[in-house]
Structure formats: structure tokens, C-alpha cells
Amino acid sequence: MNNTIVTQPQALSIPMVIETSPHGERAYDLGSRLLQDRVIFLDAGFDDNMAHIIKQSLYYMDAQSREPITLYITSPGGSVHAGLGIADIVSMMKSPIHTVVLGIAASMGCYMQSTMGSKGMRLAGKRAQIMAHQVSSGTQGTLADQKISLAHSELLDEMLAREIANAVGVSYEQYKQDTVRDMWMTAEQALNYGTKGFIDGIIIGERNEDGKLLIERRGGVQEYI
């Protein structure tokens, strides 16, 4: 089967893939084609529109098979509620989730990376930057409503902090202390944080002939997965 990529002339171009087979040609937008390979690129801030697409994609792929789903994450964060909606979909799924940070996973991106990936399969590129911090409230409206919003933000912050602390292997108190301000980490620092790390391995080499990636785990242990 031969693949040809055609880029549509738009302000934000959406690549199209034309697959040629003995049965003829079929055209897909690249995102739809990647769903067949069980791949999702989360390349945006978390909002309701993005979460809507991600949740549908995850649900669809989980219904198709139980093969692993790879979620590539490049996100500065965003809406907590949008991210939690994705997290709830993942918690209902039987398919393993492999997470890979490319570039940046901050705030809700960090939460997604550290808590959603299957054991041993939370990965990051060697240039990746990961940032954890407290929930931002962004309260507005009347003083009474702002107090209600702030209390809700405090509940969200505690919930996320406890989940992340458990995922990375530190106490809730230690995690809260470390994230009083933005905590930026390189891939290596993220790997070695706590007893479990924000990631399980750093991608350090190209794919081998079997399509497996060379990664480095704690202690300098290298393997293909």
C-alpha cells in the first residue's frame, strides 16, 4: 500500500493522506488516518472543543480493539474540567494508554502525562519540558461568587495534587511544597522525581527495524519498547 501526503492550501493546513491499493484510492485527513494506527496528537491547550474530539477518539478506538493507544502530548495546560473529562474517559477504557511528551506538558498536560499513562509507558522526548503547579482559579463575578469559585478551585487543586503525588511517588505534603510555585523540569529531572517519576523513560534513539523506540529508564538502563 502506497501513501501520498497532500497539504490543503489553508491558513492552518490540514494534511490529507491518499492511500493507493489494488482496490483504488482513498483520501483521509491525517488525524483520521492516525486513528487507524491508534495514535492521537494532543497538540493544544485544554478546552471543551479539544476535549470533545479527544474523548470521542479515545472511545472509538477502545471500542475497536484492546491494542495500546499512543497519546502524544504537547500542551501548555488549560481547563481543568476539560482535562478531567478526558481522564474519566480513560478510566473507563480497557485499552492501555502510552503517553509521550513532545516539547511541553505543563499544568493539565503534566497531569495527563503523569496519571493517565500505563505503567512503564509514560515517555518523553529528550528535549521535553514538564511543569507542575497549583490550580489557577481565575475567579470573577460578585465577591460571594468569587469565594465560591475559590473554594471550588481549592478542592480541584487538592484532588489533582493527590493524584499526581500518588502517580509520581511522593507524599501529598511534599508535592504541595514543591509546587508552591511553578516547578519546571527537564525530561531527566521528571524521570528522577519521587520514587516513580513524572515519566518512566526518555526516548533517546530512533526506531529499530521492528518499530520499537530506544528509551532510557532510571539508573541509565536502556531498552527498546
**Residues noted as catalytic:** 107, 133
3-state helix, strand, coil in the chain (%, to 5): 40, 30, 30
CA gap 178, 205 in Å, rounded = 31
Enumerate the H helices of the chain as residue ranges.
30-36, 48-64, 80-92, 108-116, 143-168, 172-178, 187-192
Paired residues of 73 in beta bridges:
42, 101
> In degrees rounded to 5, what are phi and psi of residue 158?
-65, -45
Paired residues of 130 in beta bridges:
105, 185
Q: Of the candidates 152, 57, 72, which has an alpha carbon nearest to the alpha carbon of residue 116?
A: 72
CA gap 117, 71 in Å, rounded = 9
Contact 69, 54 (CB under 8 A): no
Angle CA(169)–CA(213)–CA(28) in degrees, nearest 5? 110
Cell of 67: 491494542
